[in-house]
Amino acid sequence: MVVVVGNPANTNCLTASKMAPSIPKENFSCLTRLDHNRAKSQIALKLGLTANDVKNVIIWGNHSSTQYPDVNHAKVSIQGKEVGVYEAVKDDSWLKGDFITTVQQRGAAVIKARKLSSAMSAAKAICDHVRDIWFGTPEGEFVSMGVISDGNSYGIPDDLLYSFPVVIKNKSWKFVEGLPINDFSREKMDLTAKELSEEKETAFEFLTIA
């Protein structure tokens, strides 16, 4: 299993996969777990919970400022009951506005504040990513990983390294299928796919020149 962290992580991962055709492309993944963890933390902070009380957030697309943190299918545990995030937060404008931009721009905000990157947060996310590959995802939970888009059911073009919700069992990931996608989500998912297609085109131009 190859995990790519260095930016642009998605396109670097796709390029690495193309350069190593003897390794199955499903064995390549890139880190969007840091964004996933940040999304969970933002919801937890808003509700006065811990991040462990939040599950099934999704990061769609690129590990960049076009990524789409989606909580339409996420749940929070409040006093032993599972509640949908939209129902729990009761602030749709925040969930569709500041929440998304905060997660998208969190890395840049940390660098601006600390003059350093969030290295420990990234290290924790790498541990989470690798742990789930090794031990699998808990029953009823899914996580975000940048993986090859081939065969997805969400209208994302094939041959992109795109972050999807996945479940993992026996060290093998599968797309979470059948999640309903509303118009707001569709637009955000397509926008980040477009950026990845453009990145791929640029990267492969350089490769052919080299």
Residue pair 50/30 in contact (Cβ under 8 Å)? The answer is no
Of the listed 36, 63, 73, 129, which one is catalytic?
Answer: 63
Q: What is the pLDDT of residues 186-199, one digit of tens each?
A: 999 999 999 999 99
Is the alpha carbon torsion for 183, 185, 189, 195 positive or negative?
Answer: positive
Domain locations along the chain: 2-198
**Percentage of residues of the chain with pLDDT beyond 90:** 89
Which two three-digit tokens encode residue 10?
Answer: 């998605």
Residue 164's beta-bridge partner residues? 145
Which two three-digit tokens encode residue 74?
Answer: 């996420």
Which two three-digit tokens encode residue 75?
Answer: 């749940």
Average pLDDT, rounded, for the chain: 94
- The answer to whether 63 is a known catalytic residue is yes
Q: At CA 144, angle to CA 138 and CA 145, rounded to 5? A: 110
Please give the CATH number for the structural domain made up of 2-198: 3.90.110.10
* Residue 188: closest CA among 107, 97, 124, 119: 97
**Which residues lie below 8 Å from residue 146, measured CB to CB, with a gap of 6+?**
4, 9, 10, 13, 29, 30, 31, 32, 63, 161, 162, 163
Question: Confidence band (pLDDT; 50, 70, 90) for 109?
Answer: low
pTM of the model: 0.94
Average pLDDT estimate for 140-155? 98
3-state helix, strand, coil in the chain (%, to 5): 50, 20, 30
Instruction: Tell me what pLDDT residue 113 has.
Output: 63
